[in-house]
């Protein structure tokens, strides 16, 4: 994956796992990152490549969006949008949970976004309807705009709330005056 300004330069590039190898064979641009603490493969993706990569993964059996969210790496650093995809249909077909020798096929996708301007990511709503409220919550708390989301408005905070409460540089207002409360 070519280096873009939105990538954090000190991210360690890891040995390509099975998902990364699959994506490379198909010609998709991405970055292999170190696995998480339980060994789940993580790949870094740029926003323009997200829909194509997730579509390819869905066609390859990653048919369940278990989780979508965001986090802030700290003031002056990136806002990260992440997705956790699972191949759940394989478990349903066998009607069992994975044994100790088997491993659930899963992958995490991360997009590193600069906090300046407005971070933008394509919405996965058309691929996974469950992304609806998860993307709205991520927008509400971190200010990541999901392009082509069918209902892009605040979910947890009032519509006229200023700022993104889970950003680490957020300054809480002294008070909030409710408008049209009655």
CATH number at residue 73: 3.30.460.80
| pTM of the model as a whole | 0.83
- β partners of residue 135: none
The answer to whether residue 10 is domain-embedded is no
Query: Crossing angle of helices 50-59/18-25, nearest 10°?
Result: 110
How far CA 59 is from CA of 7, 55, 88, 89, in Å, comes to 27, 6, 13, 12
Number of domains in the chain: 1
Show pLDDT as tens, one digit a residue, over the chain (182 residues): 444 444 444 456 678 899 999 999 999 999 999 999 999 999 999 999 999 999 999 999 999 999 999 999 999 999 999 999 999 877 666 666 655 445 689 999 999 999 888 899 999 999 999 999 999 999 999 999 999 999 988 889 988 888 899 999 888 877 666 655 54
Specify if 165 maps to a domain.
no
| Cβ within 8 Å of residue 13, ≥6 positions away | 31, 32, 33
Q: Is residue 161 part of a domain?
A: no
Tell me what pLDDT residue 116 has: 86
Q: Are 65 and 94 in contact (CB under 8 A)?
A: no
In a domain, 81, yes or no: yes
Domain-located, residue 71 = yes
Q: Is 159 part of a structural domain of the chain?
A: no
With respect to residue 173, please indicate whether it lies within any of the assigned structural domains.
no
Q: Dihedrals φ, ψ of 50, to 5°?
A: -60, -55
- Boundaries of domain holding 82: 18-147
In a domain, 114, yes or no: yes
The whole-angstrom separation of Cα 107 and Cα 41 is: 5
Alpha-carbon distance of 109 to 65, in angstroms, equals 11
């Amino acid at each position: 994956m070519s280096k873009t300004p939105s990538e954090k330069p000190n991210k360690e590039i890891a040995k390509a796992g099975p998902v990364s190898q699959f994506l490379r064979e198909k010609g998709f641009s991405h970055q292999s990152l170190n696995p998480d603490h339980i060994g789940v493969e993580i790949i870094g993706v740029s926003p323009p490549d997200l829909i194509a990569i997730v579509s390819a993964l869905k066609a390859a059996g990653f048919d369940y969006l278990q989780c979508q969210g965001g986090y802030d790496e700290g003031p002056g650093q990136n806002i990260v949008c992440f997705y956790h995809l699972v191949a759940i249909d394989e478990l349903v077909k066998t009607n069992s949970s994975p044994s100790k020798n088997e491993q659930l096929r899963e992958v995490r996708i991360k997009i590193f976004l600069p906090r300046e301007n407005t971070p933008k990511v394509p919405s996965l709503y058309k691929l996974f309807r469950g992304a609806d409220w998860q993307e709205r919550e991520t927008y509400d708390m971190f200010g990541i705009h999901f392009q082509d989301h069918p209902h892009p408005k605040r979910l947890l905070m009032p519509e006229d709330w200023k700022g993104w409460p889970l950003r680490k540089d957020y300054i809480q207002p002294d008070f909030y005056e409710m408008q049209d409360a009655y």
